[in-house]
A and B are shown apart, each in its own frame.
Chain A
């Protein structure tokens, strides 16, 4: 674990946040404020300010901080992958809600569709993890090209079984 943290810190060496302790937190949370404020309730921001003094911030504020950092640091390609993953989550959720509401009659069809989204999601997540430069040390034998080939192989297998299963 210690090794892994060090690796992450090294990868994030250019960003100032980790070293600065308290005052940065309000700053980073202010940055996405226009977005965060729309989604969260206004009551969260006073609580943030009070908790900051006791060296603790509310989960919502932390989530806002993460969002800001994510927007800033993530490469465009990775964001594209993330959008695809988000899309898969939505499709999977829609199928699941449909299954709950309208019944699961062709159960194999539902399973095939749901498994396709879940499987594609984890394969994409795998691709994202493998190609993340921060994880270079872990995946010494997996180059980004190899990762993409793995991704294609996995997806082909997955969809072959899905098509077979969906009837």
Chain B
């Protein structure tokens, strides 16, 4: 045994270079694994941008590459939010596009002309490798490089992070998590060393983070909280002052350079905690300086006077500023973090986004597997040592756990700390149980004695941290524990691969299904329909759809949209919701006033695709009701028994709504009479379908997922079609060229736009 040991485990100092090489190799392998496990979607489908938001980012990146940085900065996009347009350059986080643009230019410089689409698709996997490296550095500061490697491996394949970073998921989070971890690493480094350079570097990466993701507010609040907790624990030191002051002074100024952030850091309540702690630490530093100058008795007198003075000044200042309105109150999104029911009542647009829903508890296990039950153990181990940086882990884990429970999306910020804490726990277990030598019996007696002595003279701190390390005696317990954890680790890898492959690798633009014989069947209705729009409609055609599809229409069909996923104008979205939820008569007015040429709806009834517009319809109604409570009422869409029905029992309001009509128009004709069935809602439809007066069916995709309607123009006499058909009493339904004059007063009656 001892010879084997002497061969395998030489003196640590002499094998240092070998260890370094090994670490580099392991880290490279981890990075390769992290990238590889994110490529499922590219292999299964193709190199394609996923989902919704990435389509906008992709479009913006193309614009940046094509027109250069300054045009991008001043980009006014008149092809979205028709007729308002969007000041895109000033209302986005440019970090992601600038990053991929820089990569594109760098590759061209070394004669590698890569398509910007491939850069966008592969950016997230590439950065996940860097995230693993940043996690390694972060965890190394907490424990040692062994724990760091474990954390990097966990971070590389944890589904909680993969969910937002598979190939093609070209979203802000793709680079933001790397920046988050690296900023935290720099912060820990700065706080440990008390160096203004690390603080300044931390501020620079914080700036990068601010330019990349709105989640930077998490850093803005977490670092001050760490400092605050340290001050409350009586651990103020010059190091903390240097690190925090340099970070805040530089970071805040830097963050204000991003146009979308602008003056927010000095105006909104979300950023006030950081400012407050900045002021506090100046005072604490000053008081600390005074303490060095006077005897403690007199210091108390001075302190009391100072405290009273500062409290009075700060309180008056805060009250004045809030009353005069210099500091804005908290924004709705943040209220919904504290009160999960808040958004549902006040801001339906926020509640309607699925990733803002509270997390269901199984998803913690689904996304983190065995890490989630090692997480508390890791936090406990941090309590045992409780150096300044361990306080950071504790603060981070408490905050992130809470926020992850409130919003599904924030699972993303929880994942890194869970990986770090779990890695600390696992590596402590391995440190203990992988020791080949068993301790001698004699040593035990000694250590027990010394333990008793130590307990006696313990003056502070945790008792458990004073106990000397003894070791494990029996080989069998070592083998059992190590084997058990190896099995857990292997299961973790299997689980991660399974989750990634099954749950997170679908582009959602292209759907996959299985044929009865087990072969894969690709459902490509979305691209089919968008391509139809691109090829068969005029370039300046305006497409109305629910906002979910705005970015995709802009990206794939390259047509003007009314609303899109950048939900900055609630009223405009509510207008679209009202158009969908109202009867044709009302809707046609809205469509005409917004010069809509085509209306696009998603219908999953034939295929059983549950994410369709009828299922989202209630949100449209709610959002419209928030703006026009008198004209759109959610209650009227429910049956008298309070059910949401689309079959024969559906209410008249429901049956007359534009959305219902467009979804089920001609649908029953697919089936034998009386057999028409909606496969999503499992309902049998009435045998005769709805009748459309003002819209023409223009295109329906292969599986009826996307249906596009053309808005009819006024007829030759300037009448709307509803008036025509009403006049003709249904004899010539929808036919152009009736005779009656138009009821003149109608157009001006309703105020549609803001």
* A119 with B253: CB separation less than 8 A: yes
| A8 surroundings in chain B (CB, below 8 A) | 291-292
Residues of B193-207 whose CB lies within 8 A of A: 193-197, 199-200, 203-204
Q: Which residue of the partner chain B has the closest CB to A1?
A: B234
B500 contacts partner chain A, Cβ-Cβ < 8 Å:
no
- Interface residue from A118, A141, A165 paired with B193 (Cβ < 8 Å): A141
Given the complex of chains A and B, what is the CA–CA distance between A65 and B253 in angstroms? Answer: 38
Contact A119 B249 (CB under 8 A): yes
Q: Which residues of B contact A129 (CB under 8 A)?
A: 238, 241-242, 285
- B219-240: which have CB < 8 Å to A? 234, 237-239
**A125 contact from B245, B266, B295, B297, Cβ within 8 A:** B245
Contact between A125 and B249, CB atoms less than 8 A apart: no
Q: Does residue A84 face the partner (Cβ distance < 8 Å to B)?
A: no
Asked whether A66 lies within 8 Å of B293 as measured between CB atoms, the reply is yes
Does A145 count as interface, using CB distance less than 8 angstroms?
Answer: no
Nearest CB to that of B292 among chain A residues?
A: A8
Residue of A whose beta carbon sits closest to that of B248: A122
Question: Which segment of B50-58, B298-306, B408-416, B580-588 sits at the interface?
Answer: B298-306
Enumerate chain B residues within 8 angstroms of A107, measured Cβ to Cβ: 263
Closest residue to B303 on the A side, CB-wise? A59
Complex Cα distance A1/B234, Å? 7
Q: Give min CB distance, B328 to chain A, whole Å.
A: 14
A125-167 residues with Cβ-Cβ distance < 8 A to B are 125-127, 129-130, 132, 134-135, 138-139, 141-142, 146-147, 149-151, 153-154, 157-158, 161-162, 164-165
Contact of B203 among A21, A59, A132, A157 (CB under 8 A): A157
Determine if B253 and A154 form an interchain contact, defined as CB atoms under 8 angstroms apart. Answer: no
Give complex CA distance A146, B193 in Å. Answer: 12
Q: Does B98 contact A (CB under 8 A)?
A: no
* Smallest CB gap from B305: residue in A: A59
Proximity bits, B239-262, A CB within 8 Å = 1, else 0: 101100110111011101100000
Once A126-B242, A138-B239, A139-B239 are accepted as A-B contacts, the answer to whether A58 and B301 lie under 8 Å apart by CB is yes
B294 contacts A by Cβ under 8 Å? yes
B106 within 8 A of A: no
Q: Are B194 and A139 in contact (CB under 8 A)?
A: yes
* Closest chain B residue to A150, Cβ basis: B196
Q: A65-B298, A129-B238, A130-B242 are in contact. Are A153 and B293 (CB under 8 A)?
A: no
- What per-residue 1/0 map shows which CB atoms of B300-336 lie under 8 Å from chain A? 0110111000000000000000000000000000000
B294 touches A62 (CB 8 A): yes
A161 contact from B238, B253, B292, Cβ within 8 A: B253
Option from A4, A57, A122, A147 in Cβ contact (under 8 Å) with B298:
A57
List, in ascending order, chain A residues with CB within 8 A of B249's CB: 115, 118-119, 122-123, 158
Q: Are B241 and A119 in contact (CB under 8 A)?
A: no
Sorting the interface of chain B by its residue count into under 10, 10 to 19, 20 to 34 or 35 or more gives: 35 or more
> Is B463 on the interface with A (CB-CB < 8 A)?
no
| Known A142-B193, A161-B257: A55·B297 in contact at CB below 8 Å | yes
User: For window 90-109 of chain A, which residues contact chain B by CB distance below 8 Å?
Assistant: 107-108
What residues of chain B lie closer than 8 Å to A132, measured between beta carbons? 238
Q: Given A115-B249, A118-B249, A134-B292, is A154 in contact with B301 using a C-beta cutoff of 8 Å?
A: no
- B224 to A: closest C-beta gap in Å: 14
Would you call A17 an interface residue if the criterion is a C-beta within 8 Å of the partner chain's C-beta atoms?
yes
B250-A161 in contact (CB<8A): yes
Chain B CB within 10 Å, residue with most, of A59, A62, A115, A147: A62
Known: A18-B295, A65-B294, A125-B285. A138 touches B238 (CB 8 A): yes
Q: How far is the CA of A132 from the CA of B293 in the complex (A)?
A: 14
A61: min CB distance to chain B, Å: 8
Closest to B460 in A: A2
Q: Does B467 contact A (CB under 8 A)?
A: no
**Cross-chain contact B256 with A111 (CB below 8 angstroms):** yes
Question: Is there a chain B Cβ closer than 8 Å to A37's Cβ?
Answer: no
Q: CB distance A126 to B245 under 8 Å? A: yes
- Known contacts: A8-B292, A151-B196. The answer to whether A161 contacts B254 by CB under 8 A is yes
A residues 21-59 near B (Cβ < 8 Å) are: 21, 25, 55-59
B607 within 8 A of A: no
B455: interface (CB < 8 Å): no
Note all chain A residues with C-beta closer than 8 A to B306: 59
Interfacial chain B residues near A126, Cβ < 8 Å = 196, 241-242, 245-246
Q: How far is the CA of A119 from the CA of B306 in the complex (A)?
A: 24
For B322-364 the 0/1 string (1 means CB < 8 A from A) is 0000000000000000000000000000000000000000000
A-B contact pairs, 9 of them (CB 8 A): A59-B304, A63-B302, A65-B298, A111-B266, A142-B193, A154-B196, A158-B253, A161-B250, A161-B253
> Residues on B close to A: CB < 8 A?
193-197, 199-200, 203-204, 234, 237-239, 241-242, 245-246, 248-250, 252-254, 256-257, 263, 266, 282, 285, 290-295, 297-299, 301-302, 304-306
Which 4 pairs from chain A and chain B are nearest by CB?
A122-B245, A119-B249, A150-B196, A59-B305
- Known: A25-B298, A62-B294; 12 extra A-B contacts, CB below 8 A, are A111-B266, A118-B249, A119-B253, A129-B238, A129-B241, A135-B238, A150-B195, A151-B196, A153-B197, A153-B200, A154-B199, A157-B204
